[in-house]
Chains A and B, each alone.
Chain A
Amino acid sequence: MLWLMLLWLVAFGLSLVLGHGNLSWAGLWEPNSSTRQIIEAVRLPRALLASLVGAGLGLAGASIQGVFRNPLADPALIGISGGAALFAALYLVVVSSAGAHFIGLSASAFLGGVLATALVLLIGGRRGDLSTVLLAGIAINAICLAGVGLLSYLAPDQSFRSVSFWALGSFNHASLIDAGVALMMIPVALRLLMLASVLDVLTLGDLEAAHLGIAVSKRRLEIIIGSAFITGIAVSLTGIIAFVGLIVPHLVRMTIGSRHNAVLPCSMICGAILLLIADWFSRWVFAPIEIPVGIVMTLLGAPLFVALIAKWTRGIAL
C-alpha cells in the first residue's frame, strides 16, 4: 500500500510536468511565470480530478463487484454510469442550456445513477439472481446511452459538445471547482471502506451473510447507493469513463488477494494512478490535439476485459 501511494505520487508529479507546452524548471519557482500558470490553472486541477475520479471509480467498482458477488460487475455495466450520464445531459439541455451549475449537475447525475440502479434492481434483483441483474443493467445502460445520443442530436449546437462529452469522458475542462466537488465523495468513500469486512461476508451469499448477523438488504442497499453516489459524482464531472471500476479491482485482487479491507483502498490508489496515466496518454498520443480519456480507457479496457472473461471462464471450467 505504501508502494502504491509512492507510485501515485510519482504519477501525480509526472502528470504535472509532462505534456504539451513549454515548461521550465526555473519557471517552477517563479511566481506568475507561464510554467506556474500552466501548472496551477490546467495541470494541477486536472491531476487532482483524475486522481479523485479514478479513486472513486476504483472504489465503486470494487464495492459493486463485491455486493453483486460477481468479479465482472462494473458501475457502467449495471447502469449507474449510463443513468448518471443521461440525467446530466438532460440537466444540461433542459434545465440550463446556458451554463452548467455544478451542484445541480452533480445532483442530477447522482439521481440518474440511483434511478438507473433502482430500475436494474427492480427488473433483475428480486431473487438476487446476479446474471439477471447484469443483463438488466446492460439493457438500461444501452437505453441511457441512446438517450444521451438522442439529446446530443437534438440539442442546440452550443450544448451539443457538452452533451457528447458525457458519453465520452474527459478531463478537458477540469477546474479546481471540479476537484472541490469531487471531494464530496470522501465521506461516502470512508463509509464504504468501513464496510469492507461486510463486503467479504456478502460474497458468501445472502443467506450465509444473514447467518453471520448481517442485515443483508440494508447493507446491500447502502453499498449500492454509496457506489451510485460516487459514480454519479464522477460521471457528472468527467462523463463516462468505463472499465476503471472493472479492471482496477481485478488487478488488485490478482496481486494482493480478495479481502476487501485491502482491495478497497488499493483499488482507490490504483484507480487514481491508472487515470493519471490514461489522461497523460490522451494528451500525448495525438498531441497537440487531445482525445477524451474515456476513449483511451475503453480502447485499453475492452481488450483487457475480454482477456479477463477468457481467463475467468477457464478458471470456472477447471
Chain B
Amino acid sequence: MLLADRVCWQLGQVEILRGVSFELNVGEHLAVLGPNGAGKSSLLGLLSADEQPSSGTLQFLQQELDQIPVSIRSARLAVLSQQPLIRFPFKVWELVAMGRFPFTDQTQTLRIVDEVLEALELAALKDRSILSLSGGEIQRVHLARALTQVWSATGPSLLLLDEPLSSLDVAHQVLVRNLLKRLLGQLPLSVISVIHDLSQAAEDFDKALLINRDGVQKAFGPPLDVLTPASLTALYSSVIEAVFDREGRPKGFRVSMG
C-alpha cells in the first residue's frame, strides 16, 4: 500500500533524510525510531505530502503520493502531528468533528465522533472547552480527530502518528495501544508511528525503521530482527541491553546509566 524507495530530503543545503526505503502493507504497524533530530518528523512530513522528497519516490495506493488528488488523499490519510496550539475555545466534540471535514456525507459525523470519543474515554469531556484540558487529554482529543478521518475507511487508509503516547499516563497508553491494535484488525488501515519507547516497539509493531543522527536509514524489517542491542547501542550512542522473558524471548530493553 505504501512504498518508499531511496527517499532523500534536503532543506536548503542541509540533507535531512538520506536513502529511506521501506514497504508497508494493509494492516501493518510501522515504528519509526531514531535519536532526536534524526528526521523522523520530517519523514512523516514527506508521507503527509507537506513536503516533496528531493529524490526518490513515495507511492501510496500504487500512485505517486503528490499525484493523488487532495480530495482522495484527505479521505485516506490522517495525520497526528506534534500538537498544534489552538487559541479558540472549541468544544471537544467540535474539534474532533473537524476530522470529518474531507467527507461530503456529513450524516455519519455525529455518530462517528461519539464512537471515537467513547473509544478514547473522552465521552465525559465531550462538551468541555479544549482550552481547559490537560496535556494528556488534548493529545487524546487530537488523536480522536485523526481517527475520525479514517474511522469509516472502506478502502486502504494510512494513519501517521507523531509520538502519539508522549503525554499519556500508563492507563491511557494501554488504551491507545489496544485501540490501534483493534483498528488495524478491523479496518483496511496501516499505521506509522514515531516513537521513543523501545520496549513498545518490540511488542506492538510489525515492522521497524531505524534512522540515525545523520538522517540515514540504518535498518528496516521485523522489530525482532531490527531491534538488537548492537543496532540500538549504535543508534543512540548509549549502552542498551535486551531484557528477556522466562522462555528466553526478548521482551524489552534496558538503557545502562553508565
Which residues from chain A sit less than 8 Å from chain B, CB to CB? 66, 69-71, 197, 200-201, 203-205, 207-208, 210-215, 253, 257-259, 312, 315, 318
Known A204-B86, A258-B88, A258-B89; contact A213-B94, beta-carbon cutoff 8 A: no
Q: Is the CB of A70 within 8 A of B87?
A: yes
Q: Is the CB of B70 within 8 A of A204?
A: no
Partner of B131, one of A69, A204, A212, A315: A315
Complex CA gap A201/B70 in Å reads: 15
Which residues from chain B sit less than 8 Å from chain A, CB to CB? 45, 48-50, 70-71, 73-75, 77-79, 81, 84, 86-91, 94-95, 98-99, 101-102, 131-132, 149
Shortest Cβ distance from residue B132 to the other chain A in the assembled complex, whole angstroms: 8
Complex CA gap A223/B79 in Å reads: 25
B50 partner residues in chain A, CB cutoff 8 A: 207, 210
Partner of B75, one of A207, A213, A258: A213
Complex CA gap A200/B95 in Å reads: 9
A71 partner residues in chain B, CB cutoff 8 A: 87-88
Complex CA gap A197/B84 in Å reads: 18
Among A69, A200, A204, A214, residue most surrounded by chain B Cβ atoms (within 10 Å): A204
Q: Is the CB of B87 within 8 A of A211?
A: no
Give the top 5 A-B pairs by smallest Cβ distance, nearest first. A213-B74, A205-B84, A258-B88, A213-B102, A258-B90
Residue of B nearest to A212 (CB): B101
Q: Is the CB of B90 within 8 A of A208?
A: no
Residue of B nearest to A197 (CB): B101
Shortest Cβ distance from residue A302 to the other chain B in the assembled complex, whole angstroms: 21
Q: Is the CB of B87 within 8 A of A69?
A: yes
Partner of A212, one of B87, B89, B90, B102: B102
Shortest Cβ distance from residue B87 to the other chain A in the assembled complex, whole angstroms: 6
B79 partner residues in chain A, CB cutoff 8 A: 207-208, 211
Q: Is the CB of B70 within 8 A of A213?
A: yes
Complex CA gap A318/B45 in Å reads: 31
Complex CA gap A279/B91 in Å reads: 35
Shortest Cβ distance from residue B207 to the other chain A in the assembled complex, whole angstroms: 23
Among A70, A208, A215, A318, residue most surrounded by chain B Cβ atoms (within 10 Å): A208
Q: Is the CB of B94 within 8 A of A201?
A: no
Known A197-B101, A201-B101, A205-B84; contact A211-B74, beta-carbon cutoff 8 A: yes
A258 partner residues in chain B, CB cutoff 8 A: 88-91, 94
Q: Is the CB of A211 within 8 A of B78?
A: yes
Besides A204-B98, A318-B132, 9 new A-B residue pairs in contact (Cβ under 8 A), listed by A number: A69-B88, A200-B90, A200-B94, A203-B90, A207-B48, A207-B50, A208-B79, A257-B89, A258-B89
B98 partner residues in chain A, CB cutoff 8 A: 200-201, 204, 212
Partner of A69, one of B86, B91, B149: B86
Q: Is the CB of B149 within 8 A of A212?
A: yes
24 pairs from A and B in contact (CB 8 Å cutoff): A66-B88, A69-B86, A197-B101, A200-B90, A200-B98, A200-B101, A203-B86, A205-B81, A205-B84, A207-B45, A207-B79, A211-B77, A211-B78, A212-B74, A212-B149, A213-B73, A213-B102, A253-B88, A253-B89, A257-B89, A258-B90, A258-B91, A259-B94, A318-B132
Residue of B nearest to A208 (CB): B84
B132 partner residues in chain A, CB cutoff 8 A: 318
Q: Is the CB of B74 within 8 A of A257?
A: no
Among B50, B71, B87, residue most surrounded by chain A Cβ atoms (within 10 Å): B87
B99 partner residues in chain A, CB cutoff 8 A: 212
Shortest Cβ distance from residue B46 to the other chain A in the assembled complex, whole angstroms: 12
Residue of A nearest to B94 (CB): A259
Complex CA gap A214/B71 in Å reads: 9
Q: Is the CB of B94 within 8 A of A257?
A: yes
Q: Is the CB of B101 within 8 A of A213?
A: yes
Shortest Cβ distance from residue A71 to the other chain B in the assembled complex, whole angstroms: 6
Shortest Cβ distance from residue B105 to the other chain A in the assembled complex, whole angstroms: 14
Complex CA gap A70/B149 in Å reads: 26
Residue of B nearest to A198 (CB): B101
Q: Is the CB of A257 within 8 A of B84?
A: no
Shortest Cβ distance from residue A31 to the other chain B in the assembled complex, whole angstroms: 51
Q: Is the CB of A213 within 8 A of B84?
A: no
Shortest Cβ distance from residue B67 to the other chain A in the assembled complex, whole angstroms: 16
